[in-house]
Amino acid sequence: MVQSLDRLKETASQTAGPYVHIGCTPNYCGIEGVFPADLGASMVDAETRGERIRIVGRVFDGVGTALKDAMVEIWQADAAGLYPSPQEKRGTADPHFTGFGRLPGDMTTGEFVFDTIKPGSVPFKDGRPQAPHVSVWIVARGINLGLHTRMYFGDEAAANEADPVLSRIEHRSRVATLVAPRSDEDGVPTYRFDIVLQGENETIFFDI
């Protein structure tokens, strides 16, 4: 026998279930007075630097039905490309930006709406710039392990073309599933990012 590696094993994931809102967005599901506000409901304040944008989308299952019980979290850099995290060693991020958003889909339509700012570019491991992107994590009833994906911006075609992650995806036709088109909705620059869990136009998910 050889020596044991002696490491612990990561706790296994389980589904968040249909009532994830009780723990993660209790005010949204009517449990008021326990926490003053739902965590991640607001990412910006009046002084946040950068271009105000809105990210809107839904999560679809394999028969094209929008999930009405998903929870979506996003994590992104500030307008200068710095993360508001103690692990960020390159500088200090905008103190008026949380970088973290968390929303349940609307219980009737399944739509989620993040009001945030457009992130700056952050470097890849080798120093090349990554195109601006938002990290996205999806949990729901029926999802056993949270799904990681990324949202890129439709109006950053040149940066997306050079992005070190996007550019090594073998099936080029799938890259479009990560790119959200920009439109103007009620005067707000809006990126529509629908997530397809399964089947035709299935969103790319990452094992990060």
Partner 1 sequence: MSDGSFYQRDRSRHPPAFSPGYKTSVTRSPQKAPISLDNTISEMTGPVFGHVPIGALDNDLTRNYAHGGDPIGQRIIVHGRVLDEDGRAVPDVLLEFWQANAGGRYRHRKETYLAPLDPNFGGCGRTLTGPDGSYRFRTVKPGAYPWPNGPNDWRPAHIHFSVFGLGFAQRLITQMYFEGDPLIWRCPIVRTIPDRAAIEQLIAPLDMASSVPMDARAYKFDIILRGRRSTLFENRLEGN
Instruction: Tell me which of 12, 46, 184, 186 binds partner 1, using CB under 8 A.
Output: 12
Instruction: Choose among 138, 154, 155: nearest CA to 204.
Output: 138
Kindly state the smallest distance separating residue 187's Cβ from partner 1, in Å: 29
Instruction: Choose among 72, 84, 83: nearest CA to 151.
Output: 72
Kindly state the smallest distance separating residue 184's Cβ from partner 1, in Å: 27
Binding part of the chain for partner 1, among 50-58, 110-118, 183-191, 193-201 by CB under 8 A, reads 193-201
Q: Half-sphere exposure of 157 toward its Cβ, with a 13 Å CA cutoff?
A: 3
Please tell me the count of residues contacting partner 1 according to CB under 8 A.
Answer: 84
Site for partner 1 in 150-169 (CB under 8 A): 150, 165, 169
- Distance separating alpha carbons of residues 19 and 30, to the nearest angstrom: 12
- Comparison of 44 and 197: residue with beta carbon closer to partner 1: 197
* Residue reference for tokens 């997530």: 195
Instruction: Tell me which of 54, 115, 142, 190 binds partner 1, using CB under 8 A.
Output: 142
In eight-state DSSP terms, residue 10 is: P
CB proximity list for 73: less than 8 A, separation 6 or greater: 40, 100, 101, 102, 136, 137, 138
Site for partner 1 in 22-81 (CB under 8 A): 22-24, 26, 29-31, 33-36, 39-40, 61-63, 65, 67, 69, 73, 75, 77
How close are the terminal C-alpha atoms of the chain, in Å?
32
Instruction: Tell me which of 1, 8, 46, 158 binds partner 1, using CB under 8 A.
Output: 8
Binding part of the chain for partner 1, among 44-52, 116-124, 152-160, 183-191 by CB under 8 A, reads 116-124
Instruction: Tell me which of 56, 72, 122, 151 binds partner 1, using CB under 8 A.
Output: 122
Q: Which two tokens stand for residue 39?
A: 């965590």
